[in-house]
Structure 1
């Protein structure tokens, strides 16, 4: 694994820059990105959002308190007439009222204040299910944060290795530039001695200029790679840093079955797929609870001001019962839809499980192949280095052509890059394996 697996020294002299820069260890780069990466921060906000939704759901378990107040301005005069004997047609004292009585309202304003409290009873079961569903949603958001962190950590490692690859290629091209500079001086002496031709000197100088131009291109590529790594870490893109040299890691072999068990236990996307099934089941239960009638306790108090004709206050406690006893099959169809979501979540978990198995096995195969490629690249590097030594000695002795020397130098420069790439491919395969098993 990466933990503790890096040497602390950097390339001496920082081949691509004359200004020393602070060394950024890989573990520090990963931890910085996990904390400050913008994608991670965005995923963390979803956790807060889900948690706030759960807290809001909890308040629905308590009584609903409402206060209404109004001031009415009477724009028309209202008149009420009680005909003679309308209350008591005949009594010992005669009809009541004894004659027609007309009552009119007074102009002005009427003030009304109303207070009510409604406590759900049977609905508490549905609310409890919704709260449980909210907890599952929150945990899914947490797993999304973990998955984002794992993905960002993987991208940081790859970008870190990309910087290391460019740095290694710069070291190889600097070695080539140094060799071609020395060879240019040697050929220049041969041209002065009329042992070599002018076009041969021009060929060496052209190759030297080409290497120097390529070096500048690599320096620009290095700057861009560092800016991308800074962006992944949530830092200013121009923050200076240098990377550690990546030595050849020890050869490791991981058991496939143990790796799969570790992946199923740690992969955030697999855990999230399991939680998706649980959420779908709670959603089904919430919809099913709609068959239960709603029973609430309701208290209400109303107070009227500037009213003399009728009682100015009213208070009551009621037990409210509401039941939609026939819905034309709507709840049945909605339940069927929720059941389909459960089945879909189970299918999705199966897909994720198969994908994890493929990724783990593929990462193990890549790790094995990359480890084997290092030995081949090392042997080729050593062979071409020795061949170049022989060729330059022969050229000094005038027993071989300059083209043979230049061809061998090109082969060595390519072999140096291939060895650097092979070493970094092992680290890349390790990073892919760690992502496959759910490690940061």
Structure 2
């Protein structure tokens, strides 16, 4: 059976329910309950709805920002590795001072022997280079050819890694949204408990006043007055403790939404219990389809497969189309000043003592681990969904049991009529109103427990 919850807003500041303890008769019950009237006195604070809290957390939460930056890093890494498919250009320049005197000797006839002149040169000629500044420039442009297949596999693995990082970001977002919802409901629950204690304060003040009057008339013992003092002090201390819990819960919520923890606000009323829920089988299927950790586990299997294939592709010799240019400066024309070549370059390691084979086997073992991880992740997801469903049903039953405030509200009406006819003391009405506030608080706490469980279920099935 659906229940209507309070429509007024709960606030983080103390109400002033003690007005009833000034000896004034309460007003008619045509007005809202006492706790609700006290909550309305803080309407000047800005209201924060659950939707606004979630929206601010998505935009400002620190964990989400870090997860987003991880995705940016993975995307940059992929973009950087994609450039490896293009030509590799290297320019090496050297400007230096000779510290030795290099020389080159041309043997007689090294340039040829001719009938008209004889050998050139006729004798051994030595060309010496003095110590002076010299320079060299070497330019190499190599376009990978045979390694394109290996690069393709490596890039596919990086793309899957990027998608896995996105799934981590989505998982973090689900966790943050769940934390915000739970923190929001914790504020509502703490404020409800505080309101209940504040509603009972007039009863204890009235009991203390009557005890003082009766003690003056010597109709009660001194111990009765001391007991009334102790009870009043106890409820005042309980209100202080409850106020601290409200402050802590509100600061926690402020931190989750990424704003100053000192920000004051009031929270809106929560909705009735949601009775339109899918079957557990349907929610399990949605969890396997939507959950980011399940998706990432499947991506890791594919990524490990591409890593293993890329490792095996290392057996292919590295063949590239290469252009090379070399020039020297200030070497007395002893060395060639300009040398340019275009051709094919080959780099191959024919014998590695089994290193590549062992690395390939390690990659295959990692792939098998990823396959096992998929099953483990799916089972963990199903267990979380089933546990969340059970917890939700349990809170729904507790919510049904807490729906007892109707009797307490009726009792307030009956006692108020007796107060008007002076059949009972106003203290009895304070007690009835305290019981009503306590019943309302219990229902509110049961309702917040339901919505906490509902938030956990949504996270378990991978939905916001």
Identify the residue that residue 377 of structure 1 maps to in structure 2. 402
C-alpha separation in 2, matches of 1:183 and 1:16 = 27
Residue from 189, 196, 212 that aligns with 1:172: 196
Residue from 163, 185, 191 that aligns with 1:139: 163
SS where residue 336 of structure 2 aligns?
coil
Q: With structure 2 as the length reference, what TM-score do the two structures score?
A: 0.83
Q: Is the 8 A contact 1:6 1:246 kept in 2?
A: yes
Q: Are 2:24 and 1:10 aligned?
A: no
- Describe the shift of the 1:247–1:179 C-alpha distance in structure 2 as closer, same or farther (beyond 3 A): farther
C-alpha separation in 2, matches of 1:130 and 1:270 = 23
Q: Output aligned runs, 1:248-287, within 5 Å.
A: 248-287=272-311
Identify the residue that residue 209 of structure 2 maps to in structure 1. 185
Residue from 324, 330, 337 that aligns with 1:312: 337
C-alpha separation in 1, matches of 2:237 and 2:222 = 23
C-alpha separation in 1, matches of 2:397 and 2:242 = 28
- Describe the shift of the 1:322–1:83 C-alpha distance in structure 2 as closer, same or farther (beyond 3 A): closer
- Describe the shift of the 1:277–1:436 C-alpha distance in structure 2 as closer, same or farther (beyond 3 A): same
C-alpha separation in 2, matches of 1:153 and 1:405 = 43
Q: Output aligned runs, 1:220-259, within 5 Å.
A: 220-259=244-283
C-alpha separation in 2, matches of 1:267 and 1:288 = 33
C-alpha separation in 2, matches of 1:29 and 1:423 = 19
Q: Is the 8 A contact 1:360 1:433 kept in 2?
A: yes
Identify the residue that residue 363 of structure 1 maps to in structure 2. 388
SS where residue 324 of structure 1 aligns?
coil
C-alpha separation in 1, matches of 2:155 and 2:109 = 63
Deviations 1:58-99 (A, max 9, x none): 111111112222223233323444455566689565555433
Identify the residue that residue 317 of structure 2 maps to in structure 1. 293
Q: With structure 1 as the length reference, what TM-score do the two structures score?
A: 0.87
Deviations 1:256-291 (A, max 9, x none): 111011111211111111111111111111111111
Q: Is the 8 A contact 1:37 1:233 kept in 2?
A: yes
C-alpha separation in 2, matches of 1:78 and 1:145 = 63
Q: Is the 8 A contact 1:80 1:102 kept in 2?
A: yes
Q: Is the 8 A contact 1:268 1:438 kept in 2?
A: yes
Q: Is the 8 A contact 1:251 1:371 kept in 2?
A: no
* Greater mean alpha carbon deviation, residues 405-414 or residues 11-20: 405-414
Q: Cα RMSD over matched residues?
A: 3.3
C-alpha separation in 2, matches of 1:369 and 1:97 = 107
Deviations 1:328-348 (A, max 9, x none): 111111111111111111111
TM superposition shift of 1:198: 3.1
Deviations 1:375-400 (A, max 9, x none): 2223388479959x88xx9xx989xx
- Describe the shift of the 1:13–1:418 C-alpha distance in structure 2 as closer, same or farther (beyond 3 A): closer
Q: Are 2:444 and 1:420 aligned?
A: yes
- Describe the shift of the 1:196–1:246 C-alpha distance in structure 2 as closer, same or farther (beyond 3 A): farther
Identify the residue that residue 43 of structure 1 maps to in structure 2. 67
Q: Is the 8 A contact 1:6 1:244 kept in 2?
A: no
Identify the residue that residue 132 of structure 2 maps to in structure 1. 108
Q: Is the 8 A contact 1:15 1:167 kept in 2?
A: no
Q: Is the 8 A contact 1:16 1:219 kept in 2?
A: no
Q: Is the 8 A contact 1:14 1:20 kept in 2?
A: no
Identify the residue that residue 343 of structure 1 maps to in structure 2. 368
Q: Are 2:348 and 1:323 aligned?
A: yes
Segments of 5+ residues of structure 1 without an aligned counterpart are none
Segments of 5+ residues of structure 2 without an aligned counterpart are 11-35
Aligned length: 429
Identify the residue that residue 219 of structure 2 maps to in structure 1. 195
- Describe the shift of the 1:19–1:259 C-alpha distance in structure 2 as closer, same or farther (beyond 3 A): closer
Identify the residue that residue 18 of structure 2 maps to in structure 1. none
- Describe the shift of the 1:190–1:301 C-alpha distance in structure 2 as closer, same or farther (beyond 3 A): same
Identify the residue that residue 463 of structure 2 maps to in structure 1. 439
TM superposition shift of 1:144: 0.9
C-alpha separation in 2, matches of 1:126 and 1:142 = 25
